[in-house]
Amino acid sequence: MIKGIFPTEKFKAFETPFYYYDMALLRDTLDTIRRETDGKPFHIHYAIKANANPEILRLIASYGFGADCVSGNEILRALECGFSANKIAFAGVGKTDREIEIGLDNDIFCFNVESMAELEVLNDLAKARGKKAPVALRINPNVDAHTHRYITTGLNENKFGINEQDLPAVLRMIADGGHINLIGMHFHIGSQITDLSSFEDLCVKVLELREWFHTQGITLPVINVGGGLGINYQHPNHCPMADFESYFRLFDKYLKLEEDQTLHFELGRSIVAPCGSLITRVIFVKEGIKKRFLIVDAGMTELIRPALYQAFHHIENISSDKPLTPYDVVGPVCESSDVFARDFTLNESQRGDLIAIRSAGAYGETMASTYNCRIIPSSRFSDKL
């Protein structure tokens, strides 16, 4: 079994659990994205929700990428960490007045508007400021992302986006309101998408809608296809990077842009998931009746993905090279769902060993909670040990 390279000796001195970020891998990933989009009218807005750690954000911002935010506080965090306001897209089905005002007052790039009710409020708040709000309509494309149902967003049954049949009414509302500047359309079909044909389906839909807008005499300079590119959770050492080449090539091939049209992406997971690991210590090895449990000091409070989405994360014992043996790796939280993996083969483990739960850089630290009065985990960076 190939293992990741971790500075185990240094880790021994640290209190666990903590998130460890391989900053060289993150840089490699950002370089790759830059290379794959170079010379194309493609713009990346990093989805802050995936990981809002200031160190991570500063590095991503230093590449000149924009941000995709889903709350007023995410906008403020993005600005603090060096993202330009004119590259911030603001999405979300439930933006409060205060959050909309943060966007307006900072002159962000675009509001991804998800309903007529939101459009009306945005128009009024922009009017009160004597401004025009830049808007991309989030349209529900009814495209199946073939991913876990909790992270599918682009189907008619989901709460996200405006339905196609409402578009004529939306356009009337924009014309009547006078304080909306319609610049684009926005889509996001789901997350952890590994079957790229779902993105082909999305492209077909986008072209269809672009035609419809043309029939209304409208040309939209911005097309935003959201995020969703998946990573390989099974083999983090063999496949440490998402397939950006195929991903961007697909959009280049299937979504021919018009002159002055730009294509926007809101990638989160594919940028930050591989570089993060949750480092935890074995508290006890417990012999069950049919099982052997490895009880570690991290739980669903630090990484909720396995409990919430039955997500798979590769696990390694980075202190042991003894023979392999199966364990149920579980946390200390008082919930039966506090399980990282069942019957997972690890090097034989003992109390005090350090365990790395891999590919946890996205939706790990940001989704941590204080349930059971636990403490939000700290973070460490490979270039600052």
Q: Using CA atoms of 134, 139, 145, 150 in order, give the dihedral in degrees to the nearest 10.
A: 80
Query: Which is nearest to 73 in space by CA: 90, 93, 50, 56?
Result: 90
Does 266 contact ligand LLP by CB under 6 A?
Answer: yes
Does residue 274 touch ligand LLP according to CB under 6 A?
no
Of positions 134, 161, 227, 236, contacts ligand LLP by CB under 6 A: 227
| β-pair type (354-357, 276-287) | antiparallel
CB of 350 to ligand LLP, least distance (A): 31
Nearest distance in Å: CB 129, ligand LLP: 25
Q: Which two tokens stand for residue 199?
A: 């993105």
Which residues in the 21-50 window bind ligand LLP by CB under 6 A?
Answer: 47, 50
> Does residue number 228 form part of the binding site for ligand LLP (CB under 6 A)?
yes
Is residue 359 a contact point for ligand LLP (CB under 6 A)? no
User: Does residue 374 touch ligand LLP according to CB under 6 A?
Assistant: no
Nearer to ligand LLP, 269 or 281 (CB): 269
Among 141, 184, 240, 268, binds ligand LLP (CB under 6 A): 268
Question: Length of the chain in residues, anyone?
Answer: 385
Distance, CA of 70 to CA of 184 (rounded, Å) = 18
Residue 293 touching ligand LLP (CB under 6 A): no
Of 224-232, 236-244, 321-329, 371-379: span binding ligand LLP (CB under 6 A): 224-232
Residue 64, exposed/middle/buried by CB under 10 A (0-12, 13-18, 19+)? middle
Q: b/e map of 352-373 (b: 16 or more CB within 10 Å)?
A: ebbbbbbbbbbbbbbbbeeeee
Q: Which stretch binds ligand LLP (CB under 6 A): 266-274, 313-321, 335-343, 349-357?
A: 266-274
Number of shown-chain residues binding ligand LLP (CB under 6 A): 22
* In the complex, least distance from residue 230 CB atom to ligand LLP, rounded to whole angstroms: 7
Return phi, psi of residue 104, to 5°: -65, -45
Q: Is 358 in the site for ligand LLP (CB under 6 A)?
A: no
Q: Looking at 192, 320, 349, 379, which residue binds ligand LLP (CB under 6 A)? A: 192
Answer for which of 91, 137, 231, 300 binds ligand LLP (CB under 6 A) is: 91
Closer by beta carbon to ligand LLP, 147 or else 320: 147
Which of 90, 54, 93 is closest to 72 using CA atoms? Answer: 90
Asked if 312 is part of the footprint of ligand LLP (rule: CB under 6 A), the reply reads: no
Select the residue interacting with ligand LLP from 14, 293, 309, 371 (CB under 6 A). Answer: 309
Helix, strand or coil for residue 180?
strand
Nearer to ligand LLP, 17 or 364 (CB): 364
Check residue 95 for interaction with ligand LLP (CB under 6 A).
Answer: no
Q: What token pair was written down for 52?
A: 């809002």
The 10 Å CB-count burial string (b at 16+, else e) for 134-165 is bbbbbbbbbbebebeeebbbbbeeeebbbebe
CB 103 within 8 A of CB 125: no
Residue 281 CA to residue 354 CA, distance in Å, equals 5
Binding site for ligand LLP (CB under 6 A): 47, 50, 68, 91, 151, 153, 188, 191-192, 226-229, 266-270, 305, 309, 362-363
